Structure 1
Amino acid sequence: MAGVTDAFKNKNGKAFIPFITSGYPSLDITEQLVYAMADAGADLIELGIPFSDPTAEGPVIQEANTKALEGGVTTDKIFEMVKRIRKNCDIPMVFMTYANVVFHYGTEKFVKISKEIGMQGLILPDVPFEEKEEFSTYTRKYGIDLISLIAPTSHDRIRTIAKDADGFVYCVSSLGVTGTRSKITTDIGAMVKLVKEAKDIPCAVGFGISNPQTAADMAKKSDGAIVGSAIIKIITKYGNDCVPKVREFVKEMADAVHSA
């Protein structure tokens, strides 16, 4: 099965990475969305495991988290969904959630099951570099990638973070929480350069990307674009009828990234 870095090995070496919240609006729709996004050209999919206090998220994804939890989504139900997905689809996938979710489940148990069901990575936006070892001990033991995040303010630390990074480096485009923005002013090229000086590892940009033009711009300066809030907005608007609309949007975004 393909791994995280394989997502960046397509014809132009650029990956389009969509994010969705598992269980929003239902786990059945989440499963259908994975197939639709893979079919539309996504290279890697981030599956969010909902949490009651998602500190890195803006209002759009926060609301999706709340609705998914209210609908009775649990980590075990998400694991079962991934098992079903893996019978039909081998697109690289990573979980994005928060330290408390993993702690509560049992860190080693969570990572071991994630590997067994076919997940390739884990993103924990609330875990600083200095505290990652309590998770990376297990991700490395079981062979899944713990994805590191770098922010515009972490210049002095970027090389340190990059040297120890696995899979790809998640470049946070702007300070604050996730959400769509009219434009991104951070010098992404400088961030990517610092990473590449430390380690030959792909860099994908997230936070604030909402249209094909911005996605292409970010992909020109890095190795890929990550989009979450713009997709969740479509899901919110169309509910159970969202799958074809998300497929259409993902195809536009993936085409833009792959032609960057």
Structure 2
Amino acid sequence: MNRIKKKFDELKEKKEKALVGFLTAGDPDFSKSLAIITKMCDAGLDVLELGIPFSDPTADGPVIQRSSARSLANGIHISKILKMTKKLRKTSDIPIILFTYYNPVLAFGIEKFYKEAKKAGADGTLVVDLPLEESNEMTKFWENDNFSLIRLLAPTTPKERMEKILKTAASGFIYLVSKTGVTGSDGIDASEVLKQMKMIRLVSNLPVCVGFGISTSNDVSRIASFADGVVIGSAFERLIENNMNNPELPSIIAEKVKEYKKATIV
């Protein structure tokens, strides 16, 4: 059993929902980033989305765009992120998803990315701009194993398209985007998300985690009442941006993780 399935099974038994945390790897620098993420894991984070910085993160709002720019300015690239993954794996059994755009993977080498990511201890990848029709270009190198391809579904994804994606090219869990727009934008319409959730449940048994626009504990509680997990990214990156030179930054974010995690208990 892979770490992702094991984690969601454990949470179901405990009547909790998954707290999925996104951070851009290497922000504000490699050592601080590793310290922050380690603290987050210790504080109760359930799944880690480790963001690979990209120069043109078109799906991301300004907060995550700036985090990518800082990381790139510090010379962070896939090899260093795999090194970070390997270090994290020595102290934590948390499921780790490498969150990326396709361009960095192409530049690194598709087959090389898969093999080295697995070797480092990653459990899967989410490639934001990889459409279903091109997925085989990446997955043809994958063995029949436990490395997952996490798929994004948008509020505008029609049922027929959803069925096609989920039946042919999804594993681990489903990332449901709560609304149109980019990450970090405010507000979330839980009733609309619930409608989309019901549609997904008709075609897939995979856990569904909801992201985009979730920033408060109340947001987490509302979404956790019907989803299998919540994804938070911009709120964590905003804390980094606002406390860049604060030596207590890892502890500040760890406390936020604890607050969010408490809200996932249903």
TM category (shorter chain) comes to over 0.9
Number of the residue aligned with 1:244: 251
Corresponding position: 1:46 with 2:49: yes
Distance in 2 between the 1:100 and 1:142 partners? 24
> Which of 75, 86, 92 is matched with 2:89 structurally?
86
* Alpha-carbon distance, 1:106 to partner: 0.4
* Alpha-carbon distance, 1:141 to partner: 4.7
User: 2:3 is paired with a residue of what secondary structure?
Assistant: coil
Which piece of structure 1 moves more, 184-193 or 129-138?
184-193
Number of the residue aligned with 2:166: 162
* Alpha-carbon distance, 1:155 to partner: 2.4
Distance in 1 between the 2:225 and 2:138 partners? 32
Which piece of structure 1 moves more, 185-194 or 158-167?
185-194
1:108-147 equivalences in 2 (<5 Å): 108-141=111-144, 143-147=146-150
1:173-252 equivalences in 2 (<5 Å): 173-184=178-189, 187-240=192-245, 241=247, 242-252=249-259
Tell whether the 8 Å contact from 1:41 to 1:255 is kept in structure 2 after alignment: no
Number of the residue aligned with 2:29: 26
Number of the residue aligned with 1:153: 156
Number of the residue aligned with 1:256: 263
The amino acid of 2:250's aligned partner reads: V
* Alpha-carbon distance, 1:185 to partner: 5.2
The amino acid of 1:148's aligned partner reads: R
Per the normalisation by structure 2, the TM-score is 0.92
* Alpha-carbon distance, 1:119 to partner: 0.2
Number of the residue aligned with 1:102: 105
User: 1:34 is paired with a residue of what secondary structure?
Assistant: helix
Which piece of structure 1 moves more, 92-101 or 31-40?
31-40
Q: Deviations over 1:118-173 (max 9, x none)?
A: 00010011112222221222345563101011001112212222223200000000
Distance in 2 between the 1:113 and 1:142 partners? 14
Distance in 1 between the 2:185 and 2:19 partners? 16
* Alpha-carbon distance, 1:6 to partner: 2.4
Superposition RMSD on alpha carbons, in Å? 1.6
Tell whether the 8 Å contact from 2:26 to 2:74 is kept in structure 1 after alignment: yes
Distance in 1 between the 2:153 and 2:34 partners? 30
Q: Number of residue pairs matched?
A: 259
| Percentage of identical aligned residues | 38
Per the normalisation by structure 1, the TM-score is 0.94
The amino acid of 1:202's aligned partner reads: P
The amino acid of 2:136's aligned partner reads: E
Distance in 1 between the 2:237 and 2:162 partners? 30
User: 2:263 is paired with a residue of what secondary structure?
Assistant: helix
Which piece of structure 1 moves more, 182-191 or 37-46?
182-191
**CA pair 141-134 structure 1, distance change in 2 beyond 3 A:** farther
Number of the residue aligned with 1:66: 69
Distance in 1 between the 2:112 and 2:256 partners? 36
Q: Deviations over 1:202-221 (max 9, x none)?
A: 00000110011101111112
